[in-house]
Structure 1
Amino acid sequence: MKTTEAILETNKKQKKFYNNNSKQNLFTTIWAKFRNGLLNTIRKNIGIQDQAYLLHKEWFGDLSSKRVLDLGCHSGNYWSLYLAENAKDYLGIDLSDVAIDKLNERLKPFPNAKAEAVDFLSDDFAEKDYDLIYAYGVLHHFENINILIDKLNEKLAPEGEIISYDPLETSLPIKIIRILYRPFQSDAAWEWPLTKKTFYQFQKAFVIKERRGLLGKSKWVAFLNILPISENNKKLIGQKWHQQDWHESSASDSAMFSCMHLTMLMQKK
């Protein structure tokens, strides 16, 4: 397992990769088209994406008295500007200074908001006592979960909360695909989808107030295209499967681990 120093060195490579818009190899490009093309289409068509975003907004609660850290936000995620406008104090951080320059331009209307290009694990990032850390698609970029958990606890205020959204590598078909794909992956050094072990590490370290799994049964909607049924019926089936994933994963580990994505509301103990 990598040390903090080793991860910081890896993150310098990650920064360079995103700052220079480094080209992905063929295998990573194919996976990206599957992930950002087919899966995103499914998420949009059957309401998975919107339901997750609305749940996050519900989890934010009243932001007027909260210090918010938008972790790994790049040039701004879906909720970055909402958080910046409504929080008592907002800081967005990312490795990419190119992305942060863009975000700072977008943050100009909000006097209590700013963005910095800094490594979350670095000593250069000294601020703490955050009431909320929003980590959309971020926590799985840390290979050493123990180091990440320690840093999250260090940065959180008492009873502070984390909202996360990350890929899971616990569904057997997806795990097999990822194992076959990983040796050819351009960004493998900082891509570590959550495993059962890492989930239980988070569960031990924080109070998981709520969790929802996504793309469990509903990931198979893609195969409905080969069946002679209408688009509307495909959508209705997909919505039914998604709601089953959504509700069953909140209480059942097996249902949650069948999913491709996991979002959690965690609180500092």
Structure 2
Amino acid sequence: MKTTESILETNIKQAEFYNTKKKNFATRIWSKFRNGILNKIKKAVGVQDQAYLKHKEWFGDLSTKKVLDLGCFSGNYWSMYLAEHSKEYLGIDLSDVAIHKLNERLAIFPNAKAKAVDFLSAEFADNDYDLIYAYGVLHHFENTKILIDKLNEKLVPNGQIISYDPLETSFPIKIIRTLYRPFQSDAAWEWPFTKKTFYQFQSAFSIIERRGLLGKSKWMAFISMVPISDEKKNKIGRKWHKEDWEYSKTSDSVLFSCMHLTMLMEKKK
């Protein structure tokens, strides 16, 4: 398991990767699948929009909150909303190129700024955050204990985290990722959640709410090839997504059949 120092060294390479976005052939193929077929399924069954709306619900009243937008790149779906409505907003990312773009966008908000800094580094000394928004970020840390300790350090008592990350807990996805990993250009910082990872977070924080996505509904990738109408395909997909969304709140077996996980967590007293 990596130490903080070795993770910091890896993150220098990660910053270079996201500044240049140089992907090898295998990573380009995976990105095409993720941003093509998978995104088409998400839109058809309402997966992505529902997750975003759930995050907005979880934000609550931001007017008194100091918010950290962790690993935000040049701004995620909610970055500008968080900046506009929070008492104080800071977006951080490893990519100085992306942060420069975000600072240009944030210039209209006197309470908001962005900084190119490593979350684990001594350079990032700011604390007392009421909310940490981590969209597609927490799985970039190989050592979950180091990450959890740092998250707790940065939060106020009862501070909250909203996360969204890929899961590697369903058998077919685990097989695909295992086959892909030796050829993956960003493998050194891509660590989709395992069952162990989830239980580490469950032990460290109070999980107020959780939702799994793309469980049954991931099979829409195959249903899309069946010669039936788009209306019927989407009806099947929406039904499956609803089951994933609702049952994953309480059922670990349903949750672990999913490809993605989003959580609202709270720092324990």
Query: TM-score when scaled to structure 2?
Result: 0.99
Q: What percentage of aligned pairs have identical amino acids? A: 76
Q: CA deviation at 1:161?
A: 0.2
Output one character per residue of 1:84-118: Cα deviation in whole Å (capped at 9) or x when no partner. Answer: 00000000000000000000000011110000000
Residue 150 of structure 2 corresponds to which residue in structure 1?
151
- Deviation for aligned residue 1:222: 1.4
Deviation at 1:60, TM superposition (A): 0.0
Aligned equivalents of 1:101, 1:226: Cα separation in 2: 43
Aligned twin of 2:179: 180
Q: CA deviation at 1:190?
A: 0.3
Give the match for residue 232 of structure 2: 233
Distance 1:226 1:261 in 2: 23
* Secondary structure of residue in 2 paired with 1:226: coil
In the TM superposition, 1:54-69 aligns within 5 A as: 54-69=53-68
What CA distance in whole angstroms lies between the structure 2 residues aligned with 1:20 and 1:31? 18
With over 3 angstroms needed to count, the CA separation of the structure-2 counterparts of 1:21 and 1:228, relative to structure 1, is closer
Could you tell me how far apart the structure 2 residues matched to 1:86 and 1:109 are? 12
Secondary structure at the counterpart of residue 115 of structure 2: strand
Q: Match for 2:216: what amino acid? A: K
**DSSP 3-state at the match of 2:163:** strand
Q: 1:29 and 1:15 mapped to 2: Cα distance?
A: 18
Q: Which residue of 2 aligns with 1:14?
A: 14
1:202 aligned partner: 201
Q: Report the Cα distance in structure 1 between the residues aligned to 2:185 and 2:225, rounded to whole angstroms.
A: 32
- C-alpha distance in 2 between matches for 1:228 and 1:122: 53
Q: State the distance in 2 between where 1:135 and 1:55 align.
A: 14
CA shift, 1:220, in A, is 0.4
Which amino acid in the other structure matches residue 74 of structure 1? F
Give the CA deviation at 1:225: 2.4
Tell me, what secondary structure is at the counterpart of 1:128?
Answer: coil
- AA of the residue aligned to 1:7: I
TM-superposed deviation, 1:229: 1.2
CA distance, structure 2, for counterparts of residue 21 and residue 176 of structure 1: 26
Residue 46 of structure 1 and its aligned partner are, at CA, apart by: 1.1
Structure 2, unaligned stretches of length 5 or more? none
TM-score (normalised: structure 1): 0.99
Counterparts of residues 81-230 of structure 1 (less than 5 Å)? 81-230=80-229
Aligned CA RMSD, in angstroms, stands at 0.6
1:17 deviates by: 1.0
Deviation at 1:21, TM superposition (A): 2.6
Cα deviation, residue 25, structure 1: 1.1
Q: Which residue of 2 aligns with 1:77?
A: 76
Report the 3-state secondary structure (helix = DSSP H, G, I; strand = E; otherwise coil) of the residue aligned with 2:64. Answer: coil
Per the alignment, in what secondary structure is the counterpart of residue 238 of structure 2? helix
SS of residue in 2 equivalent to 1:41:
helix
Map residues 15-30 of structure 1 onto 2, 5 A cutoff: 15-22=15-22, 24-30=23-29
3-state SS of 1:133 partner: strand
Counterpart amino acid of residue 10 in structure 2: T
User: In structure 1, what residue type is equivalent to 2:20?
Assistant: N
Alpha-carbon distance in 2 for matches of 1:112, 1:226: 49
- AA matched with 1:129: D
Letter of the 1:227 partner, please give it. V
